[in-house]
């Protein structure tokens, strides 16, 4: 999607006291090793961004249009089991972005996210 001009932000809202927290240095090293197609990784260890969007799970996906309007929030796809083939799943994020790129209204604006809970601090 980034090749089509889409900005893809990865937001890490895990608090610094949790064992799965990544420091910015750890995140940069992981980024260099895994080479995701995302635009940027954001350290949200304060939880400010995650709480503002109501992020409940990892992952919890959000699609925001070019005017800054939240047009989709929820699961990445319709298969909540970890052993599914993502190529066979209905990808809600891809659909939402496709609608936006085509100048259409997003057909499914919200779904229930699935995954591990976000480990906010305090």
Task: Please give the Cα distance from 26 to 42 (Å, whole number).
Answer: 12
**Extents of the domains making up the chain:** 2-117
Tens of pLDDT, residues 14-65: 999 998 888 889 988 998 999 888 999 999 999 999 999 999 999 999 999 9
pLDDT digits (tens, 9 = 90+) for 70-113: 999 999 999 998 888 888 999 999 999 999 999 999 999 999 99
| Domain covering 2-117, topology | Glutaredoxin (3.40.30)
């Amino acid at each position: 999607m980034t090749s089509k001009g889409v900005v893809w932000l990865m937001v890490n809202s895990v608090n610094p006291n949790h064992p799965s927290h990544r420091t910015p240095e750890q995140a940069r090293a992981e980024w260099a090793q895994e080479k995701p197609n995302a635009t940027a990784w954001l350290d949200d260890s304060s939880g400010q961004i995650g709480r503002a969007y109501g992020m409940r799970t990892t992952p919890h996906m959000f699609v925001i249009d070019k005017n800054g309007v939240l047009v989709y929030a929820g699961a990445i796809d319709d298969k909540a089991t970890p052993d599914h083939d993502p190529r066979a799943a209905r990808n809600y994020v891809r659909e939402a972005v496709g609608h936006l790129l085509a100048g259409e209204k997003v057909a499914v604006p919200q779904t229930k996210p699935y995954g591990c809970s976000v480990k906010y601090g305090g």
